[in-house]
Structure 1
Amino acid sequence: MITFPSLAAWLAHLETAHPVGIDMGLTRISQVRDALGLQFTCPVITVGGTNGKGSTCAVLETILLRAGYRVGCHTSPHLLEFNERARLNGIDASDADLLEHFEAVEAALLSLPVPVTLTYFEFTTLAIMRLFASRALDAVILEVGLGGRLDAVNIIDTDCAIVTSIDIDHTEYLGDTREKIGFEKAGIFRPDTPAICGDPSPPQSLIDHAAAIGADLWLVGRDFRYEVQAGNERQQWSYIGRTQRRAALAYPALRGANQLINTSAALAALEALRERIPVSAQDIRLGLANVELPGRFQVVPGKPQVILDVAHNPHAAAVLAQNLGNMGFFPYTYAIFGAMADKDIEGVISHLKGEIDHWNVTGLPTPRAASAAMLAGALRDAGVNQGPDSSVTEFDTPADAFQDAVKRSSENDRILVFGSFHTVAGVMAYRNSQRH
Structure 2
Amino acid sequence: MFTTMEQCTDFIFKLKAVDHKRAPLVMMREVLAHLDNPQDKIKAIHIAGSNGKGSTVNALRKMFEGAGYKVGAFTSPHLERVNERMTINGVQIPDAQFLQYMNAVARIIETHYNGDYPSFFEVITLIMFLYLAAAQVDFALIETGLGGRLDATNVITPLVSIITTISLEHTAFLGDTYAKVAFEKAGIIKEGVPVIVGVKNEEALAIIREVASERHAECFILGEDFTSTTPQQLEGMQQFDYEKADIKMQEIALKMAGAHQVANASLAVTAMLVLQEKGHVRIAESSIRTALQTAQWAGRFEQVAQNIVLDGAHNSEGTAALIQTLKDVYPNRKYNFIYAALSDKDHVNSVALMDKVANSIAFTQISLPNAMPAEQLAALSQHPKKVYSSDWLGVIDAEIQGKEVDDILVITGSLYFIAEARKSLLEVVR
How would you bin the TM-score normalised by the shorter chain?
A: over 0.9
Comparing 221-230 and 277-286, the one that deviates more: 221-230
Q: How many residues align?
A: 423
CA-atom RMSD in angstroms: 2.3
8 A contact 1:28–1:116 mirrored in 2 = no
Q: Give the superposition deviation at 1:90.
A: 1.1
Aligned-partner SS, 1:39: helix
Aligned residue for 2:413? 419
Structure 1, unpaired ranges of 5+: 386-390
2:353 counterpart (351, 365, 371): 351
Cα–Cα, structure 1 residues 182 and 20, in superposed 2: closer, same or farther, change >3 Å?
same
**1:276 paired to 2:266:** no
Q: Give the superposition deviation at 1:168.
A: 0.8
Where do 1:31-430 residues align within 5 Å?
31-37=30-36, 38-112=38-112, 116-200=116-200, 201=202, 202-227=204-229, 236-242=239-245, 245-274=247-276, 275-302=279-306, 305-329=307-331, 332-379=334-381, 383-385=382-384, 391-430=385-424
Aligned-partner SS, 1:353: helix
CA distance in structure 2 between the aligned counterparts of 1:211 and 1:104, rounded to whole angstroms: 40
Aligned-partner SS, 2:310: strand
Q: Give the superposition deviation at 1:235.
A: 6.0
Aligned-partner SS, 1:215: coil
Q: Give the superposition deviation at 1:428.
A: 1.1
CA distance in structure 2 between the aligned counterparts of 1:236 and 1:362, rounded to whole angstroms: 36
Q: Give the superposition deviation at 1:163.
A: 0.1
8 A contact 1:28–1:117 mirrored in 2 = no
8 A contact 1:330–1:414 mirrored in 2 = no
CA distance in structure 2 between the aligned counterparts of 1:371 and 1:128, rounded to whole angstroms: 34
**Superimposed CA distance per residue, residues 217-271 of structure 1 (whole angstroms, 9 cap, x where no aligned partner):** 11222322224599999764332224x6141242321111111111111111111
CA distance in structure 1 between the aligned counterparts of 2:391 and 2:40, rounded to whole angstroms: 42
CA distance in structure 1 between the aligned counterparts of 2:355 and 2:194, rounded to whole angstroms: 40
8 A contact 1:307–1:415 mirrored in 2 = yes
Q: Which amino acid aligns with 2:76?
A: S
CA distance in structure 2 between the aligned counterparts of 1:11 and 1:223, rounded to whole angstroms: 44
Q: Percent identity?
A: 28
Comparing 341-350 and 162-171, the one that deviates more: 341-350
Cα–Cα, structure 1 residues 22 and 361, in superposed 2: closer, same or farther, change >3 Å?
farther
Structure 2, unpaired ranges of 5+: none
CA distance in structure 1 between the aligned counterparts of 2:176 and 2:192, rounded to whole angstroms: 30
CA distance in structure 1 between the aligned counterparts of 2:292 and 2:19, rounded to whole angstroms: 36
CA distance in structure 2 between the aligned counterparts of 1:316 and 1:7, rounded to whole angstroms: 33
8 A contact 1:46–1:158 mirrored in 2 = yes
CA distance in structure 2 between the aligned counterparts of 1:404 and 1:330, rounded to whole angstroms: 23
CA distance in structure 1 between the aligned counterparts of 2:76 and 2:400, rounded to whole angstroms: 29
**1:11 paired to 2:9:** yes
8 A contact 2:337–2:358 mirrored in 1 = yes
Cα–Cα, structure 1 residues 16 and 237, in superposed 2: closer, same or farther, change >3 Å?
closer
CA distance in structure 1 between the aligned counterparts of 2:351 and 2:14, rounded to whole angstroms: 33
Comparing 163-172 and 319-328, the one that deviates more: 319-328
**Superimposed CA distance per residue, residues 66-105 of structure 1 (whole angstroms, 9 cap, x where no aligned partner):** 1111010000011121111011111122212311111111
